[in-house]
Amino acid sequence: MTYLSVILHTVDELRAMRDELAAIAELPGAASGIVQHPDWIAYEVESRHDGTIPHVIVVRDSAGHVVGYAPLLAIVHTARLDLAGRRLRLYRGAALRLLGSGIVAAEADRETVGLVVTRQLMGDSDVSVVRIQEADLPNRFAEALSRGGGFRIVAAHLLDQVHLSIEPQVSSDAWLARFDAKKRGDLTQRVGRAYRKLGGDAALQTFDRPEDMPAYCRLMNEVYARTWHHADLPTDWEAPERVALFTRLAAAGQLIGHVVVKEGRPLAYVHGYLLGGTYLVDDLGYDEDVAKAGIGSVATFQAIRALIDRFPGVRISFGYGDNQYKRVLASRSEACGSLYVVRSTRATAGFRAYGPVRWLYQGLHRVRQDRARRKLTGRTP
């Protein structure tokens, strides 16, 4: 069978093919997350004002049916490396940013679509840098692209990362049954303790209808401003483009948010997306003023139980990043990282700095871990 590819360079072209692309993205396992859905791709472009445009490579079979696509954006990118408190610029120029971790296709078509997409990129001399910010490892797309056209993979994460998830469960009771009695009791008893500390009418509320989204975004804006990560990543949850996107996703059953509210005040949240049999916990946080109540971890536990019971067999993904509480709840751990796939040119020579810095940084990290272990066991003063 013959396969052909076409590149979508505008939001209008993307919208014209929206239904065909969405049908692929919504297949179980076809997309790595909601960011690969055509509605999200359009949002990424329209919400930015930095020259970002689509570069979505769509693959059709000989009958004209869409069998998969690569959700890429054309951007101006700056690659930097933090070194001894200084930010060293390695590259500044054109790049393609891959949304998600790979191409979007049914498993039966994934290899073929990947081959067509990578050949398209290899043959395009204007493409020299492809950014995969949150990549499952090993990454099939990056490996396929690095086999030709002078491309090579550059690992940009200084420390090893993990992607934690809860494998499909028939019920929340079945999920809890895998914990020992002490841990199970601790998880369930924390809920009562947290709400007793909060007092009043504090309760976890669910937001999943399109008409809920303006109120949901208002609550999210209010609580997010009081979280520890607001300073690192300021976000306007009530931006018109975001409210419109959330409304579309909620109408399709793809957005489910949970917020702990007391007397109208939001105190903690669990925000995520449901696509292709996986619920991605995209963001979670809590008001620093009530941190001692432990409501952040309690809200996460409550939301996960509710999701498992509402959607038996759904996979719960905690996405990119690690913390102790995710490790407690998760049943599966997979390697992930941040990658570049670069064509060897004079302009991309700076990417070679990542290798030795990663080696040095990981060596220092191992030394620190070893010292900490020895201190705990009493083998150091």
Do the domains spanning 4-162+335-366 and 168-330 agree at the CATH topology level? Answer: yes
Residues 38, 169, 323, 80: what is their CA dihedral angle, to the nearest 10 degrees?
A: -20
Alpha-carbon distances, residue 260 vs 40, 194, 200, 226 (angstroms): 26, 11, 12, 14
- Packing angle of the helix pair 213-224, 240-251 (nearest 10 deg): 130
User: Residue 271: what are its φ and ψ, rounded to 5°?
Assistant: -110, 130
- Regarding pTM above 0.85, the answer is yes
pLDDT value at residue 381: 47
Show the tokens assigned to 51.
Answer: 């020259």
**Topology (CATH) of 4-162+335-366:** Aminopeptidase (3.40.630)
- Is residue 245 packed enough to be buried (19+ CB in 10 Å), middle (13-18) or exposed (0-12)? buried
pLDDT value at residue 230: 85
- Cis previous bond, 138, omega within 30: yes
Distant-in-sequence, close-in-space partners of 108: CB < 8 Å, separation ≥ 6: none
Domain spans, the chain:
4-162+335-366, 168-330
Helices (H), the chain: 11-16, 18-25, 38-46, 107-122, 140-145, 172-176, 181-198, 213-224, 240-251, 295-310, 324-329, 354-376
Show the tokens assigned to 138.
Answer: 């090993």
Low-confidence ranges of the chain (pLDDT < 70): 378-381
Secondary-structure class of domain 168-330 per CATH: alpha beta
Comparing CA positions, the residue from 27, 107, 1, 13 lying closest to residue 57 is 13
Alpha-carbon distances, residue 307 vs 176, 310, 342 (angstroms): 14, 5, 40
Comparing CA positions, the residue from 186, 136, 195 lying closest to residue 332 is 136
d(CA 81, CA 157): 10
How large is the C-alpha radius of gyration of the chain? 22
pLDDT value at residue 375: 78
Alpha-carbon distances, residue 365 vs 48, 156, 260, 323 (angstroms): 36, 16, 37, 17
